[in-house]
Structure 1
Amino acid sequence: MRIVSAAEIAGLLTHSDLVDALGEAFRAEITVPLRHHHRIPQADGSPEAMLLLMPAWTASGSQQFVGTKIVSVYPGNGAKNLPAIYGSYILSSGETGAPLAVMDGTELTVWRTACASALASRSLSRKDATRHVMVGAGALAPHLIRAHAAVRPIRHVTIWNRSRERAAELAEGLQGTLPGITITVGTDLQAAVGEADIVSCATISTNPVVSGDWLKPGAHLDLVGGYTPAMRETDDAAIRRASLFVDTRTGGLHEAGDIVDPIRRGLITEADVKADLFDLARGTHAGRTSDSEITLFKSVGTALEDLAAAMLVWRSLKS
């Protein structure tokens, strides 16, 4: 059994290859049971911890796989100078159940999350999109920038973060690594969004950060950060103006605050969500219909994406 580190994963994957692999996975027969949540009380008085199990397995193909992402969430770890979240991915043979590899689940997650957004962008953003605004400067931000640049002719990236220092650090780290792309730190978010062809948000905000009134005709809004019904990265104006898409209806209609909250208040209905990544990847929905259409993609993640990424890592190791 192989142990695959974060550095190995980063050395094996490319964003364009993973976008292609995710497209294949959303077209394939892959079983994705409901995610398992297990609460873990803490005897020392720390906040309650959580164990998440995210299984998936292939149902066809020349080689079968079973995979499970195991994520532990310990909110009290900050007081111990430790990360709050740890993740591992176990990939096994679908024919025998024999374990093949244990992979760094955190690294796998940032790669697959960013590339799912890029897969959506292939159908939803304008093909001539050149200006990208990145809202947030955390671990996902550099991957989202690179993933969108892998599928669209991005020439200018503006990074905005509540902490300007964090945005500047990310911009400095990316300088010279993306040939032909100018990277700047934004100070006026409204102005930057107003010029953007693609706007990505990867925050943990519970209140809207980007207003739909700022979006120009033809813009694509990519919402990645909010992963609970209590979180919002954009406002009702965006929900009203945009054509709405999600990664999966199961997740988007139950976990994504930017979709769940407007439905709960009667602003929209479930029928207003036009398609998910299954529909877009399989061609049952065309995606963008005009150059002036504003599109919005909301993702919360799915075990299918983890399995697709792990399979690509495994095949790259074996080639």
Structure 2
Amino acid sequence: MKTISLSEREVRAAVSMREAIDAVRRGFVGLANGEFEMPTRTALRDGRFLVMSAHHRPTESAMIKTLSVNFDRVPAITGTVVWSTLDRLDHLIADAAAVTTLRTGAAVGVATDLFAAPDADRLTLIGAGGQALDQVRAVHTVRPLRHLTIVGTGTGRAHALADTLRAELDGTEIRTATDPASAVADAHIVCCATPATSPLFPGSALPARVHVNAIGAFRPSMRELPDELLATGTVIIDELGAVLEESGEIIHALQAGAITQDDLTELGTALTAAPPAPRGKRTVFKTVGVAMQDWAIARLLADKFLC
């Protein structure tokens, strides 16, 4: 029996964003087809400690992730991902921060590839924290960017992120801003990655045609998007049970009567059938993150290191 432990650097070196997007896409299709046993995650201390698990029936493999979340420290996420199967004694343990940001970015890549306009090349990113880099990398993988605006409450982190991305995104014009409403006005794609507790911008600030990804709010007390956007756009979610329990945006919009559950389409369903006909030209992907995504990345790592 052997146990392989992978650091953040080793996870990053082993899995490209393209590989992650493809793996998470397959995972969402498998989720829609009933391949996973996946209980809603356990949240302790109002989401400061999280435990997530997924069992993939066809491969008899399972993943368990435990992590802590503290936005007052760097990194905000720390923990472990453990992979095991029934047919062997070996285990793999990976850094949870790397897996989490990678799989969250990958889910955004899947949704953006499915719903953003084919020629979309202007991204506004709101938030310059730990999730930000992989949000941009994922979008750029499926929609090569010509323009990127990074919106941060403090200029320091936004400028530092811009400098990092200039080294990666050759030929992309990158600027920083502090006002979300004005920054989204000409965007083709918007990514929200903040711990906000109230909407970041009014729906009227967005152009008529835009794809919005919202990944920051993962508790009922958190919101990044306004009800009016959800009420007038096509809303895609990662998994119904998860968002009904954890997504502040979805819970608030349902309670306000802005949307109904029938207005929500799971990403796996959208991937396995024709995309839902939009009520407007705005699409929204709201994700709180589900364990299948972590399983998808862990399986990639297991295939590489437990061969």
When normalised by structure 1's length, the TM-score is 0.87
Find out whether 1:299 has 2:295 as its counterpart. Answer: no
> Aligned to 1:56, what secondary structure does the other structure show?
strand
Residue in structure 2 matched with residue 72 of structure 1 by the alignment? 68
Find out whether 1:129 has 2:123 as its counterpart. Answer: no
Residue pair 2:51, 2:64 contacting (<8 A) in 1 also: yes
Residue in structure 2 matched with residue 91 of structure 1 by the alignment? 83
Residue in structure 2 matched with residue 59 of structure 1 by the alignment? 57
Find out whether 1:32 has 2:22 as its counterpart. Answer: no
How far off is 1:33 after superposition? 1.9
Sort the Cα spacing of 1:85 and 1:268 in 2 relative to 1 into closer, same or farther, 3 A. same
CA distance in 2, matches of 1:279, 1:49: 28
Residue pair 2:90, 2:306 contacting (<8 A) in 1 also: no
CA distance in 2, matches of 1:38, 1:150: 35
CA distance in 2, matches of 1:225, 1:151: 21
Residue pair 2:153, 2:178 contacting (<8 A) in 1 also: no
Q: Which runs of 5+ in 2 are unaligned?
A: none
Residue pair 2:109, 2:142 contacting (<8 A) in 1 also: yes
Residue 33 of structure 1 aligns with an amino acid whose one-letter code is P
Sort the Cα spacing of 1:192 and 1:82 in 2 relative to 1 into closer, same or farther, 3 A. closer
Sort the Cα spacing of 1:11 and 1:294 in 2 relative to 1 into closer, same or farther, 3 A. same
Find out whether 1:186 has 2:177 as its counterpart. Answer: yes
Sort the Cα spacing of 1:71 and 1:202 in 2 relative to 1 into closer, same or farther, 3 A. same
> Aligned to 1:129, what secondary structure does the other structure show?
coil
CA distance in 2, matches of 1:132, 1:109: 22
How far off is 1:36 after superposition? 2.8
Residue pair 1:30, 1:58 contacting (<8 A) in 2 also: yes
Residue in structure 1 matched with residue 108 of structure 2 by the alignment? 117
CA distance in 2, matches of 1:227, 1:99: 33
Residue 195 of structure 1 aligns with an amino acid whose one-letter code is D
Sort the Cα spacing of 1:49 and 1:148 in 2 relative to 1 into closer, same or farther, 3 A. closer
How far off is 1:116 after superposition? 0.5
Q: 1:228 aligns with which of 200, 219, 231?
A: 219
Residues 238-277 of structure 1: pairs in structure 2 closer than 5 A: 238-273=229-264, 275-277=265-267
Q: Which runs of 5+ in 1 are unaligned?
A: 40-47
CA distance in 1, matches of 2:97, 2:157: 20
Residue pair 2:63, 2:295 contacting (<8 A) in 1 also: yes
CA distance in 2, matches of 1:308, 1:293: 31
CA distance in 1, matches of 2:226, 2:43: 29
Residue pair 2:42, 2:51 contacting (<8 A) in 1 also: yes
How far off is 1:82 after superposition? 7.9
Residue pair 1:157, 1:184 contacting (<8 A) in 2 also: yes
CA distance in 1, matches of 2:277, 2:78: 37
Q: 1:12 aligns with which of 11, 14, 32?
A: 14
**Over residues 101-151 of structure 1, what are the superposed CA-to-partner deviations in whole Å (9 max), with x where a residue is unaligned?**
110011100000111011111111111101000000001111100100001
Residue pair 1:72, 1:86 contacting (<8 A) in 2 also: yes
**Over residues 277-306 of structure 1, what are the superposed CA-to-partner deviations in whole Å (9 max), with x where a residue is unaligned?**
211222x2415659x610011000000000
Find out whether 1:286 has 2:275 as its counterpart. Answer: yes
**Over residues 185-213 of structure 1, what are the superposed CA-to-partner deviations in whole Å (9 max), with x where a residue is unaligned?**
12443232110000000000101112211
> Aligned to 1:268, what secondary structure does the other structure show?
coil
CA distance in 2, matches of 1:4, 1:239: 39
> Aligned to 2:167, what secondary structure does the other structure show?
coil
Identity %: 30
Sort the Cα spacing of 1:314 and 1:261 in 2 relative to 1 into closer, same or farther, 3 A. same
Mark the structure with the bigger radius of gyration. Answer: 1
Sort the Cα spacing of 1:49 and 1:153 in 2 relative to 1 into closer, same or farther, 3 A. closer
Residues 136-151 of structure 1: pairs in structure 2 closer than 5 A: 136-151=127-142
Count of residue correspondences: 301
> Aligned to 2:250, what secondary structure does the other structure show?
helix
How far off is 1:253 after superposition? 2.1
How far off is 1:265 after superposition? 2.0
Residue in structure 1 matched with residue 157 of structure 2 by the alignment? 166
When normalised by structure 2's length, the TM-score is 0.91
> Aligned to 2:11, what secondary structure does the other structure show?
helix
